[in-house]
Amino acid sequence: MAGGSFGQALVIDLDVGGGDPLPLSDDVLRRYLGGVGLGTWLLHELSDPAADPLAPEAVLAFVFSPLVGTPLTTSAKFAVVARSPLTGMLTDALASSHFAIAGKLTGHDAIAIRGQCDHPSVLLIDGDGARLIDAGETWGMSAAAAEAHLSAQLGPGWRIASIGPAGEAQVRYATVSHDGRHAGRGGLGAVMGAKRLKAVAVKACTKVPSADPAAVLAAARDLRARSFGPATAKYRELGTLSNLLAFNAINTLPTNNFTTSTFADAPKLAAEELHDLRSVTRNSCASCAIGCEHIYATKDGGSARVEYENVFALGPLCGVSDPDAVLAASVRCDDLGIDTISAGGTIAWAMSCAEAGLLDAPWLRFGDGTALLRALDEIGSGTGIGPLLRQGSRRAAAELGGDAPSHAVHVKGLELPGYEPRTLHAMALGLAVNARGADHNRSGAYEADLSGELDRFDGGDAHVAAAIVTEDRAAVMDSMILCKFLRGVFDDPFEEWAGLLSGVTGWDLDGAELARTAERIVLAKRMFNLRAGWTPEDDWLPPRLVDNPLELSSGRVAELSSARLRAMVDAYHVARGLDPDGLPDPAAYADLQLTAPLPDPAPDPLPDPAPDPHLSPRPKVRS
């Protein structure tokens, strides 16, 4: 067995309350590494991709990785993987800290959960095995409160991942969180809530050696030293919020639901401003030397964890410039346990609809912080427009009908992060084609746009290549797992990562094999989506962003034409070895080592009265 792993997953069936080990061969571990890669393989093997994500048979997997538990900086991370109730596709989200280490040291490389508790419960896993206890009064608490309550109840050594009230209510963009960090995107908290599972608590009971501990220690020392260099200065000094003012200066800050790309009041929300005006503390995940978390004091004496994405989504995207309102909204999202990007995106959609007279909510206006907080409260309580907004922008728009879908800015149902695609053409492609939907953590193609190496307004072959490179790198980083904020310290990423993994696992990996691993993981995700109902039309951007010119502050007009996007998407599919139906070469599919046969191409889309075609089970197995 490879170092750094146990060669088994624990498969829990909540209907019966127990768990069984699932052997993981060395071959599978080497092919998929861990984290997102292994989670994708597990989802293929353990679940029906077409099953309703909120049904009992849906599978939710917590997946660890070979590097977890080593002294390598930023390695204490875990992936949560399931079919998303927001997109109907695969969603994989990462969170950090001690849960990753304790979860792995229960003796498992992954914990996969299916079934449904008959009442709200907490799943405990330690050296005595897996068991359920009553969630008791934690049901209804915020994730942070539930975590604190369970920590006190269970005693030292237990680490807890929990959902908040939004997960319990199956809000489709609810999160799973641990120690204040969220596995945020795609509604994993709703999947857990549908299982009536408030929390998963894990306690370490064993150890796992690396193949070459001395080499790993030396690599850890080297990596730690490099992590203090200029490539991570941004994260250490101001955190990701330092993007905000810079993005505003380069017409890349989506504002008022993507109607403009600059926000006049951006300085009020800027890290450069707030850092000097508020008391700020820094924090870091377990095993991290960077410490990118910047926690700002709030008006009411509390504190808010501040990142670019939550400030963007609850600030400029909704036109809100009052920092107190934005920080309060961010705290409210944390308390409810919802993804700030999808929350902000859905509320911004609702603001557009309210202003266009499509939604009867005259109080909901861009720029109104009080309205933003009220909308979040209604999402939390399920009153007023809350039930509509709980569904995310795509479903809500389909329900509202008329012109409402044209205001919904999402890909595959996942609301866009804070990157304006019309001024970032490599990123536009990355957002359009990524398996998870519009997401900046699975496609970092903006790096190429912002590098100065290619023209960000002139998407073409170089942008396609850049989107593939960054997607591949993300696939490996999210599987081995290292934090992406460390990515800038690697000069030759695949070779250097192969070296780190070899020291831990004992495999004789090289960069070329890891590059193939990346392609395999990307393909495996796409194949899950294909089996779940993906069609080629899903790799596209929303109408607001295509053939809709955007005037820049320089006077130039930025546009992403449908012809240009079509050319880039087609070139991406070809480069990924996919035919027009999204199907790969049979040999590439065989390399995935999946039990399920290669799916048939999707049938031609029929006129579909259902608001979400992705959630209508569509059996598509080649006979």
Partner 1 sequence: MGDVGIVLVGGRSSRMGAPKAGLEWHGSTLLRRTVGVLRRAVDGPVIIVRAPDQAVPETPDDVLIVDDDQEGLGPLQGLAVGLEAAAAHGEMAFVCSTDLPFLHPAYIRKVLACFDEDTDVVLPMVHGHRQPLAAGYRTALAPQVQRLLTEGARKPAMLFDVVRTRRLDEDALLSDPALAAADPGLRSVLNINDPDDYARARATAPPTVDVRCFGTLARSGGYDGHDGRPVAAATLEGAARAVGISLDQHVVAALNGDRITRDGHTPLMDGDRVSLLSADAGG
- Residues lying near partner 1 in the complex (CB under 8 A): 230-235, 237-238, 240, 242-243, 245-247, 249-251, 262, 267, 270-273, 308, 440, 444, 446-447, 449-453, 455-458, 484-485, 488, 552-556
Q: Distance between CA atoms of 151 and 379, rounded to whole angstroms?
A: 28
Is residue 416 a contact residue for ligand SF4 (CB under 6 A)? no
Instruction: Tell which residue, 291, 294, 191, 320, has the closest CA to residue 232.
Output: 291
Is residue 238 a contact residue for ligand SF4 (CB under 6 A)? no
CB 46 within 8 A of CB 532: no
Report the residue from 96, 177, 342, 535 that binds ligand SF4 according to the rule CB under 6 A: 96
Closest distance of CB 139 from partner 1, Å: 35
Cβ distance to partner 1 smaller for residue 25 or 451: 451
Taking only Cα atoms into account, the Rg of the chain, rounded to an integer number of angstroms, comes to 22
User: Which phi and psi angles does 333 have, rounded to 5°?
Assistant: -60, -45
481-482-488-492 Cα dihedral, nearest 10 degrees: -50
Cβ distance to partner 1 smaller for residue 265 or 600: 265
CB 94 within 8 A of CB 68: no
Cβ distance to partner 1 smaller for residue 365 or 457: 457
CB 467 within 8 A of CB 426: yes
Cβ distance to partner 1 smaller for residue 16 or 233: 233
- Each residue 549-588 as x (binds ligand SF4 by CB under 6 A) or -, in order, gives ----------------------------------------
Q: Distance between CA atoms of 327 and 349, rounded to whole angstroms?
A: 20
DSSP 15: T
Q: Distance between CA atoms of 245 and 264, rounded to whole angstroms?
A: 10
C-alpha distances out from residue 85 to 28, 213, 261, 612, Å: 27, 41, 30, 10
Instruction: Please list every residue from 474 through 503 that binds ligand SF4, using CB under 6 A.
Output: 483, 485
Instruction: Tell which residue, 161, 193, 195, 166, has the closest CA to residue 77.
Output: 161
Is residue 290 a contact residue for ligand SF4 (CB under 6 A)? yes
Residue 285 interface partner, choices partner 1, ligand SF4, none, CB cut-off 5-8 Å depending on type: ligand SF4
Four-residue CA torsion sign, 533, 197, 22, 212:
positive
Residue 63 interface partner, choices partner 1, ligand SF4, none, CB cut-off 5-8 Å depending on type: none
Cβ distance to ligand SF4 smaller for residue 97 or 116: 97
Residues comprising the chain, all counted: 623
Closest distance of CB 238 from ligand SF4, Å: 13
Question: Which residue type, as a one-letter code, is found at position 119?
Answer: H
Cβ distance to partner 1 smaller for residue 455 or 461: 455
Instruction: Please list every residue from 292 through 311 that binds ligand SF4, using CB under 6 A.
Output: 292-293
Q: Exposed, middle or buried: residue 621 (CB in 10 Å: 0-12, 13-18, 19+)?
A: exposed
Report the residue from 41, 235, 263, 534 that binds ligand SF4 according to the rule CB under 6 A: 235
Q: Which span sits near ligand SF4 by CB under 6 A: 57-65, 165-173, 258-266, 282-290?
A: 282-290
Instruction: Please list every residue from 24 through 83 that binds ligand SF4, using CB under 6 A.
Output: 74
Residue 572 makes CB contacts below 8 A (sequence gap 6+) with 429, 433, 464, 467, 468, 539
Residue 535 interface partner, choices ligand SF4, partner 1, none, CB cut-off 5-8 Å depending on type: none
Is residue 111 a contact residue for ligand SF4 (CB under 6 A)? no
Q: Which span sits near ligand SF4 by CB under 6 A: 26-34, 204-212, 290-298, 311-319?
A: 290-298
Q: Rounded to a whole number, what is the distance in angstroms from the first to the last CA of the chain?
A: 36
Q: Which span sits near ligand SF4 by CB under 6 A: 119-127, 287-295, 447-455, 504-512?
A: 287-295
Cβ distance to ligand SF4 smaller for residue 69 or 582: 69
Binding site for ligand SF4 (CB under 6 A): 74, 96, 235, 284-285, 288, 290-293, 483, 485
